[in-house]
Chain A
Amino acid sequence: MKHASVLLAVLFAAATAAARANEAGMCGVCHSDVRVQFEQGVHRSEGIACTTCHGGDVAATTVEGAHRAGFRGVPRRRDIPALCASCHGDIARMRPYNLPSDQFALYQTSQHGRRLAKGDPNVAVCTDCHGVHEIRRRDDPRSRVFPRNIPSTCARCHGDAALMKKYGRTDNPYADYAAGVHGRAFLENASDAAPECTRCHGSHGATPPGLGDVEKVCGQCHATTRQYFLEGPHKKAMDDAGLPECAACHHNHKTPPAGVEMLDSVCLQCHAADSEQQKLAGTMKGMFTDAAREIDEARHLVEEAARIPLYVDDYQARLEDARTALMESFPVMHALDTGRVEPHTRRARSIAAEVSGEIHEKLAGRWWRKVGLGLFWFYLLLTAAILVRARHRAAAESRH
């Protein structure tokens, strides 16, 4: 019985080893380094063999036999997208994995794909982003296309100044992105709400948005701001002037944190300092800073009250409302209409004034403590006077 179980175990081990050898076939005997890489990838676990991409005979025991008819060797770069698409464009094959099958179609519309079709060998093909043999799933943190790794993956080419110079690009999009508000949120604060490259440019169909489309791209996240922008005069004016909409004021990659102080400088790029437009900017800024100052004063009062301590939970919640109203005025400013900004800043100011007033009232209502203290001192001094008198009497008695 014991011998039988040992025999079974040995047979089982041999069978699994044989099955494993089958996937990389005999190729791994010579290409051991590639085999190591391949075994870490997702294709190996899905039963894809070397020959699926490279051709040849997986079972052959000689080099000549393995590299027989149908052997493709290393695929040419320009053939790679189509080669990958031979499986990944197959709806039936991709359906069980719930994977899209339109990547190749998208790729052909991208800058990468169009240049590749024109014979440019430097543009990215599938393997540049996904890896060659060790292709991993997108949700594997070690994958180059895992969302957190996307900026560094794109930067492999787009951060290469020498390569970019060939295309007449002198900027460094990766460095700009990393310095901007989106890059800092994504790279430094690990915020998943912040966009990486593909959220604006697309992945397989990667293309810079056209001049008239910038607001649509930014509007995916900044929907309210986009709505006000579309309702304002800038949309038509910018499109007529060939300006890149949002990016004209906020920069495309090096986007600085948005704040009212931008109204001092950004408008001057197109408008004169004494123009009506710059005056409008100044008015909007004034509305905002007045409200912000009043909220800040109310906050100081709330903190002072909390130190006493008074109940301030309600005031804190209302100040949060005031800050929300103030924040709402930011997108509205893109409509460039003070009449539309004013209700928001007015609401912020009125909440702050209400809170300040109520706290002042509460603090002033504490006057009775001082009156009480005065009465208390009156009583104490009376007691002291009686004691001093009694003491004198006792001292006189003790002298006698």
Chain B
Amino acid sequence: MAADAGGKRSIRSWLEARLNLTEIASFLSVFGLLPAELDTRKPLREALDEALSRPLPSYARWPRIMGILSFILFLVLAVSGMMLAFYYQPTASEAYGSVTSIARDVTGGTLVNQVHRWAATLLLLILAARIVRFYFGGMYGRSREVIWMLAMVTFVVATFADLTGRLLPWDARGYWTTVRAREVTDALPLIGPLFSFLVGGSGLDSLVLTRFYILHIVVWPFLLLALFYLHFSSVRRVGLSSVADGPGSRSLRVVLYDLLLIVVFLIGALATLAIFMPQSFDVAADPFATPPGARPPWYLLAPHALLESFPPLVPRFLRGLFLEALFVAVLLLPFLDRRAGERPGRRPAAIALGALALLVWAALIWKGWHLEGPR
């Protein structure tokens, strides 16, 4: 044990002499969990004390909570997903048995499985809600263009992560949801063929399942991690949104307590959802028996309805191209709407347009749901 300055010996000081603990801790700050820059030349305690007492606007309080909440959910998904992967077998013949066995035979398996499912649902809902908040708050102008585009891309990548996850249990609902979802993605020029290339064709067999699995546990999570990193990095560069900024800036110490409180309540919410509203299992998938009411997942219902709304004469790739153009237009919104960043009251046209778009989207979801028969 090495001696401290005051002659006290501690494990921390022993390690401090051999590792740059401050540098290791600063790694966390890169991902926004610890929204402070640590001076890596100073010892950990000193650097932390300095950072913790530095005042900063709280990002872990309403309504700016969604960014950090989505990242915490991502971490929950990573941990629970890893636990599931210990037992999961990604082949068509074993997948269903292994997933039901996780939920039935493994101690705590149901809880982990349900928490994983609910965390995914909440993550997508929060990412979607974040986009809506960014739009109505006008938070995509004035050097925040990258944050807007990252929010859009993060949502799309998260839907792909969700979609690849739905197939993994190889139950009838997951299987046929994926089949219907792929009808939508296959209509998209460039994205459809690219996705088909990645998973090796447009059918669903054991090899495709393995590829979905790799996409689900490696490719999409790392892409999401990179997107979260870029998001936090951009927030650090341009600062938190100034719209509706409260008066109080707090010390980082207080912010960290807020963060812990969020985690506590999030875990409580996930456990409650998992126990009171468990998402049910379906029978094993049978590629030769389509169950009634097979439809794409909720986030693809509107694109599905839109694709089906065109007159029959319009070729499918043109419909897909329209969808893609729509996405690109929304993605490039910060460059199209120059009045962004102003208070909602001063941009009534944008607010009205946004409300209309939301209504149309909701109507399309309703239509997409009713295009298929009852379940």
Contact = CB atoms under 8 A, between A and B. Distances in A.
Given A307-B281, A309-B104, A369-B275, A384 B265 contact: yes
Contacts of B100: 309
B280 A387 contact: no
Nearest to B100: A309
Interface stretch (B209-217, B248-256, B310-318): B248-256
B254 A394 contact: yes
Interface residues of B, number: 27
A373 B280 contact: no
B282 interface: yes
Contacts of B258: 391
Interface stretch (A67-75, A164-172, A343-351, A375-383): A375-383
Contact of B257 (A308, A309, A380, A391): A391
Given A308-B278, A309-B104, A398 B254 contact: yes
Given A309-B281, A373-B271, A394 B265 contact: no
Given A308-B281, A309-B281, A377-B268, A398 B257 contact: no
Contact of B261 (A306, A309, A384, A397): A384
Contacts of B276: 370, 373
A377 B261 CA distance: 13
A383 B264 CA distance: 8
A388 B260 CA distance: 10
Interface string A283-321: 000000000000000000000001111110000000000
A315 to B, nearest CB: 14
Given A311-B104, A384-B264, A394 B257 contact: yes
Nearest to A380: B268
B275 A309 contact: no
Interface residues of A, number: 22
Contacts of A306: 281, 283
A377 B253 CA distance: 25
Q: Most chain-A CB neighbours within 10 Å: which of B53, B254, B261, B265?
A: B254
Question: Mostly helix, strand, loop or mixed at chain A's interface?
Answer: helix
Contacts of B104: 309-311
B261 A387 contact: yes
Nearest to B54: A398
Interface string B35-72: 00000000000000000010100000000000000000
A387 to B, nearest CB: 5
Interface in A382-400: 383-384, 387-388, 390-391, 394-395, 397-398
Given A309-B104, A380-B268, A395 B250 contact: yes
A384 B259 CA distance: 11
Contacts of B264: 380, 383-384, 387
Nearest to B267: A380
Contacts of A377: 268, 272
B103 interface: yes
Given A308-B110, A394-B254, 18 more contacts: A307-B282, A308-B278, A309-B281, A310-B104, A373-B271, A373-B272, A373-B276, A384-B261, A384-B264, A387-B261, A390-B257, A391-B254, A391-B261, A394-B257, A395-B250, A395-B254, A397-B251, A398-B53
5 contacts: A309-B103, A369-B275, A376-B271, A377-B268, A380-B268
Interface of B: 53, 55, 100, 103-104, 110, 250-251, 253-254, 257-258, 260-261, 264-265, 267-268, 271-272, 275-276, 278, 280-283
- 5 cross-chain pairs, A with B, having the tightest CB-CB distances, nearest first: A391-B257, A307-B280, A398-B251, A394-B253, A380-B268
